[in-house]
């Protein structure tokens, strides 16, 4: 399977590490041929015979960029690569942009789908802003558009809904979906000031580059919109989500809640009201015997309500980059199965 990568940040590097060490993973019966890797800031490489991922990884670690020996340097832009190169699947791993309303990622994805090429993306932006359009484009062109890692990293969320809840209609959801704010809130319970807890999250490499994405609730708002769009058939954007951040929380207020038997959690919700689908991101007091109260540090959880089942909750314990990379690989395995069926 010939893969075009757009984005070569931490997730792509972890994918490259896993794929170049696949002998360590007994159930990972999977290999791919990278025919292009393009980035916004470091240029790109292409090689229709396959790029040596181990060498690219090594070059990035040594020089912070591509070198001529890991595939032929290319002067294409990422969009031009998506539009013109010969590949089977686009792996889209660029970063979330709220100001860009899902762009430029959405354009990369559009370019691939319009050519009938499947897309695997870890990017919540396009799902949060233009899901309905992309889903329809994929359907029209008989291509897959998968994005398991966009919410809760590799934990099953979107694939769970599509593949394990057939026939059930989702009526609502709630969840802890932003690791940085959950970590900060957990740290404030033991007295750590906000700014120091934020710095710890940044040092751990979990916080978004722009802290506002986390602490003002933009990242969880994007996830709430993405979940409402996919699981509930909504057509919302993060700008439609009733949004509250955690800047007003102090160690004193977190500790006061704890004394009263509650933990402060930033909760994403989707629900139906007067025939509409509403979404919100709010700091809530969660009783200590609730599953959400057991989610500490960078953990996450999602509770799904549906008509034919009692609520199911997915909890992910302390994910890291391996989980995100695994979600992308898992989606690639699904695309490969579909391509081999179609052959």
Q: How far is the CB of 340 from a copy of itself (least distance, A)?
A: 13
* 244 near a copy of itself, rule: CB under 8 A: no
* Residues from 62 through 81 that contact a copy of itself (CB under 8 A): none
Q: How far is the CB of 295 from a copy of itself (least distance, A)?
A: 8
**Angle at 168 (CA atoms; ends 295, 283), nearest 5 degrees:** 30
Please report how close the Cβ of residue 244 comes to a copy of itself at its closest, in angstroms.
Answer: 25
The 8-class DSSP code of residue 138 comes to H
- Is residue 40 a contact residue for a copy of itself (CB under 8 A)? no
Q: Helix or strand or coil: residue 91?
A: strand
Minimum CB distance to a copy of itself smaller for 27 or for 259: 27
User: Does residue 312 touch a copy of itself according to CB under 8 A?
Assistant: yes
Report the residue number, 108 or 183, with the smaller CB distance to a copy of itself: 183
Q: Using CB under 8 A, which of 178, 182, 186, 334 touches a copy of itself?
A: 334
Whether 327 and 149 have beta carbons less than 8 Å apart is answered as yes
Which residue lies nearer to a copy of itself by CB, 40 or 168? 168
Closer residue to a copy of itself in complex, CB, 103/320: 320
Which residue number, 40 or 339, has a Cβ lying nearer to a copy of itself?
Answer: 339
What is the H or E stretch that residue 310 is in?
Answer: strand 309-316
Residue whose CB is less far from a copy of itself, 193 or 261: 261
Place of tokens 């989500």: 241
Q: What are phi and psi of 192, to 5 degrees?
A: -70, 130
- From 1, 79, 80, 291, residue interacting with a copy of itself (rule: CB under 8 A): 291
* Minimum distance, C-beta of residue 312 to a copy of itself, in the bound complex (Å): 5
Minimum CB distance to a copy of itself smaller for 75 or for 308: 308
Q: For a copy of itself, which residue of 50, 156, 211, 251 counts as binding (CB under 8 A)?
A: 156
Q: Check residue 330 for interaction with a copy of itself (CB under 8 A).
A: yes
User: What residue spans of the chain are helical by DSSP H?
Assistant: 10-19, 53-63, 78-84, 105-114, 124-140, 158-164, 179-189, 194-203, 211-215, 218-232, 251-259, 321-342
218 to each of 87, 142, 237, 295, 299, how far by Cα in Å? 33, 32, 11, 20, 18
| Cα separations in angstroms, 236 against 1, 272, 276 | 34, 13, 11
How many Cβ atoms sit within 10 Å of the Cβ of residue 302? 25
Q: Can you give the binding site for a copy of itself, defined by CB under 8 A?
A: 18, 24-30, 148, 154-156, 159-160, 163-169, 288-291, 293-294, 296, 307-320, 322-323, 326, 329-330, 333-334
């Amino acid at each position: 399977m010939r893969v075009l990568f757009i984005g070569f940040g931490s997730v792509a590097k972890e994918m490259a590490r896993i794929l170049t060490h696949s002998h360590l993973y007994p159930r990972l019966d999977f290999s791919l041929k990278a025919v292009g890797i393009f980035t916004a800031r470091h240029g790109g490489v292409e090689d229709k015979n396959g790029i040596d991922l181990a060498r690219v990884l090594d070059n990035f670690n040594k020089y912070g960029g591509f070198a001529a020996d890991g595939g032929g340097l290319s002067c294409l832009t990422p969009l031009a690569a998506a539009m013109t190169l010969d590949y089977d699947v686009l792996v889209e791993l660029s970063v979330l942009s709220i100001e860009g309303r899902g762009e430029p990622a959405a354009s990369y994805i559009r370019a691939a789908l319009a050519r009938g090429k499947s897309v695997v993306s870890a990017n919540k932006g396009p799902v949060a802003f233009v899901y309905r359009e992309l889903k329809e484009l994929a359907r029209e062109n008989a291509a897959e558009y998968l994005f398991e890692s966009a919410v809760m990293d590799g934990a099953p969320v979107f694939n769970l809904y599509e593949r394990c809840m057939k026939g059930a209609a989702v009526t609502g959801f709630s969840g802890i979906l932003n690791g940085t704010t959950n970590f900060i809130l957990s740290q404030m319970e033991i007295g750590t000031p906000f700014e120091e807890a934020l710095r710890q999250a940044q040092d751990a490499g979990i916080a978004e580059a722009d802290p506002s994405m986390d602490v003002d609730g933009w990242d969880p708002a994007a996830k709430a919109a993405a979940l409402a769009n996919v699981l509930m058939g909504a057509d919302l954007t993060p700008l439609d989500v009733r949004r509250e951040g955690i800047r007003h929380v102090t160690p004193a207020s977190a500790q006061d809640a704890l004394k009263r038997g509650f933990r402060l959690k930033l909760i994403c919700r989707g629900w139906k009201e007067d025939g509409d689908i509403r979404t919100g991101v709010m700091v809530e007091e969660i009783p200590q015997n609730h599953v959400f109260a057991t989610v500490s540090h960078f953990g996450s959880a999602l509770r799904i309500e549906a008509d034919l089942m009692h609520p199911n909750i997915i909890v992910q314990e302390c994910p890291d980059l391996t989980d995100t990379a695994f979600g992308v690989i898992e989606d690639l395995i699904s695309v490969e199965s579909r391509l081999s069926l179609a052959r």
